[in-house]
């Protein structure tokens, strides 16, 4: 007999939240108690253990060469470069230790993990990827630079939360084959497009939103199978090319003019309450080929799951921030190609693994760090099968008595300062709020200012030579210095795109502002006379016109 919905009070924010009837079945199946934190606080707690975008210069603690790392130079964590970490020059099992039943599990684990070498940047460069050294949470790619949370992408720069795209720059949430994209979000099967959002099967389009099957369209919204349209008005090929040439999109001034017009134009058109492609019985946003999943965002092929974001092929799983090809996982960060990974961080190709970090191709492990092909291990110490299950049961009882069992790692033990972590993007806090919460604040975020050698960038990309590769530029927003890389410059030349005036971080911040949040609100359709209600990722204070499915379909078709 199924249980009824249970109301609980979050032990962190003290707000009410609900455990739904089907949730109990999931928790019982994987053998954990129902959560004591609400979904939002659980998500914040997980994200506090991620740093995807703040990089530092430091040295590898093994080979001593200069490297880039998500760990600051003053971080006590032992850090190895990618080449050393994946090598056989060290043995994670040599750090094995006994569990101390006189002390809390989380405190012991936080001390233990500092001793075991961590990857400077979590990627599989030279293993599954080629020429992708400067990437984070990255796999199976080729020739990529400054790409984060991405897999199976090629010749990309400044791309995040994406898969299966090529020759793409400054884009996010691209979860489908694409090529030649710039400044785009949640697109699928698009080619040669710039500033296109929530669209599919576009060719040579610019500044378009929620368009599908279109070619050569500019400043358009909600179009289907159109060609040579501007602001949703049909033109001949000659008229279209003449108007497009007038905008001079190869210039920074022309691009900014188009951007302003586009931002105003899209607010005059209704949007569907959620972006689903081939989905059944789902709640969330930016979902494709999914079914029976709730509160899931920017994910494809989710099934019977809840509280997921930025994933690919996830089944029977709850509370995950990023991950793919997984099943029956819970409270984790990137449990890729894994089954029954519970309370884990960066776990690949593992089975029945709990409270562990950076373990690869392992099974039946508890409280382990950086094991490769480990089995029946606790705190990296090898046991027999019988010893392992006996000790594991005893540790779980110890954690239950201390109120730790069933909880993810506390934020206070994160290796990252709160303002370095992904939590600060979704749950921002001031320095005083961070410190008063008992968390760490990083005062020395790495950045360079005052080294500018070129203050005035030519307006037209055609007027810029490769001499710009030797220049140091200054972000017009934050004044941080940045440079243009050779491959980046070639991309701008190829697609006739002006050189950006903002640094990577400010460009990323702008894209995040265009994204819906990983939360939903109960709202009513804004079409006059319609009484339909729905769950949507568009917050009530946002300016967009939001329609239900039926009203939206009538508007578009």
What are 404-462's pLDDT values in tens digits?
A: 999 999 999 999 999 999 999 999 999 999 999 999 999 999 989 999 999 999 999 99
Residue 466: inside a domain: yes
Across the range 351-374, mean pLDDT stands at 98
Residue 209: inside a domain: no
* Distance, first Cα to last Cα, the chain: 45
Q: How confident is the model at residue 381 (pLDDT cuts 50, 70, 90)?
A: very high
Residue 1 has pLDDT above 60, yes or no: no
Dihedral of alpha carbons 465, 467, 470, 473, sign: negative
**Domain that includes residue 478, residue range:** 446-518
d(Cα 148, Cα 133) in Å, to the nearest integer? 11
Cβ proximity of 454 and 485 under 8 Å: no
Crossing angle for the helix pair 237-247 and 252-266, nearest 10 degrees? 110
The reported pLDDT for the residue numbered 481 is 97
- Which residues, in sequence order, are bridge partners of residue 251? 460
Residue 480: inside a domain: yes
Residue showing tokens 């960038």:
457
Structural tokens at position 126? 């030279």
Residue 301: inside a domain: no
* Residue among 536, 538, 407, 508 nearest 149 (CA): 508
Percent of residues, the chain, with pLDDT higher than 70? 100
Mean pLDDT score of the chain, rounded to an integer? Answer: 96
> What is the pTM (predicted TM-score) of this model?
0.94
Q: How confident is the model at residue 118 (pLDDT cuts 50, 70, 90)?
A: very high
The reported pLDDT for the residue numbered 213 is 98
Residue 125: inside a domain: no
Range with the poorest average pLDDT among 120-134, 195-209, 237-251: 120-134
Across the range 38-56, mean pLDDT stands at 97
What are 136-158's pLDDT values in tens digits?
A: 999 999 999 999 999 999 999 99
Residue 419: inside a domain: no
Residue 437: inside a domain: no
Q: How confident is the model at residue 191 (pLDDT cuts 50, 70, 90)?
A: very high
* Residue among 419, 444, 500 nearest 194 (CA): 500
> DSSP H helical segments within 3-151, as ranges?
21-30, 39-47, 82-85, 105-115
Residue 2 has pLDDT above 70, yes or no: no
Total of domains in the chain: 2
Residue 402 has pLDDT above 80, yes or no: yes
Residue 454: inside a domain: yes
d(Cα 329, Cα 352) in Å, to the nearest integer? 9
The reported pLDDT for the residue numbered 4 is 84
The reported pLDDT for the residue numbered 261 is 98
What are 297-337's pLDDT values in tens digits?
A: 999 999 999 999 999 999 999 999 999 999 999 999 999 99
What are 487-520's pLDDT values in tens digits?
A: 999 999 999 999 999 999 999 999 999 989 899 9
Residue 367 has pLDDT above 70, yes or no: yes
């Amino acid at each position: 007999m199924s249980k009824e919905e249970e109301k609980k009070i979050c032990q962190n924010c003290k707000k009410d939240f609900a455990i739904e009837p089907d949730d109990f079945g999931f928790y019982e199946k994987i053998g954990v108690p129902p959560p004591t934190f609400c979904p939002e606080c659980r998500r914040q707690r997980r994200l506090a253990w991620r740093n995807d975008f703040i990089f530092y210069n430091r040295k590898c603690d093994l080979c001593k060469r200069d490297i880039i790392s998500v760990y600051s130079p003053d971080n006590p964590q032992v850090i190895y470069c990618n080449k050393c970490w994946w090598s056989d020059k060290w043995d994670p099992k040599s750090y094995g230790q006994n569990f101390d039943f006189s002390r809390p599990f989380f405190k012991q684990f936080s001390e233990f993990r500092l001793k075991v070498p961590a990857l400077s940047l979590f990627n599989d460069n030279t293993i599954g990827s080629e020429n992708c050294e400067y990437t984070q949470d990255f796999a199976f790619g080729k020739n990529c630079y400054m790409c984060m949370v991405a897999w199976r992408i090629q010749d990309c720069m400044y791309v995040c939360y994406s898969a299966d795209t090529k020759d793409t720059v400054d884009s996010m949430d691209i979860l489908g084959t694409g090529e030649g994209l710039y400044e785009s979000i949640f697109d699928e099967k698009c080619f040669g497009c710039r500033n296109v959002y929530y669209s599919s099967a576009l060719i040579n389009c610019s500044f378009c939103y929620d368009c599908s099957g279109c070619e050569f369209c500019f400043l358009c919204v909600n179009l289907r199978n159109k060609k040579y349209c501007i602001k949703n008005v049909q033109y001949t090929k000659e008229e279209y090319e003449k108007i497009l040439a007038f905008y001079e999109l190869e210039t920074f001034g022309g691009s900014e003019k188009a951007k302003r017009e586009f931002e105003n134009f899209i607010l005059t058109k209704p949007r569907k309450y959620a972006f689903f492609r081939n989905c059944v019985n789902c709640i969330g946003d930016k979902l494709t080929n999914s079914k029976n999943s709730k509160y899931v965002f920017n994910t494809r092929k989710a099934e019977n799951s809840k509280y997921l974001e930025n994933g690919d092929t996830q089944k029977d799983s709850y509370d995950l921030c990023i991950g793919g090809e997984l099943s029956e996982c819970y409270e984790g960060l990137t449990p890729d190609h894994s089954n029954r990974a519970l309370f884990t961080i960066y776990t690949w190709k593992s089975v029945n693994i709990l409270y562990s970090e950076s373990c690869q191709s392992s099974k039946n492990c508890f409280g382990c760090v950086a094991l490769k092909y480990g089995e029946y291990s606790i705190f990296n110490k090898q046991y027999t099968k019988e010893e392992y299950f006996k000790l594991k049961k005893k540790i779980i009882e110890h954690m239950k008595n201390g109120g730790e069992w069933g909880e993810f790692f506390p934020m206070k033990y994160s290796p990252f300062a709160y303002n370095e972590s992904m939590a600060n993007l979704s749950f921002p806090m001031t320095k005083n709020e961070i410190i008063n919460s008992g968390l760490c604040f990083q005062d020395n975020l790495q950045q360079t200012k005052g080294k500018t050698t070129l203050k005035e960038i030519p307006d037209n990309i055609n007027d810029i030579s490769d001499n710009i590769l030797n220049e140091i530029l200054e972000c017009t927003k934050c004044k941080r210095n940045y440079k243009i890389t050779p491959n980046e410059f070639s991309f701008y030349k190829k697609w006739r795109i002006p050189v950006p005036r903002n640094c990577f971080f400010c460009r990323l911040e702008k894209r995040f502002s265009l994204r819906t949040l990983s939360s939903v609100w109960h709202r009513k359709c804004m079409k006059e006379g319609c009484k339909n209600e729905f769950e949507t990722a568009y917050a009530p204070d946002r300016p967009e016109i939001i329609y239900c499915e039926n009203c939206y379909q009538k508007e578009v078709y």
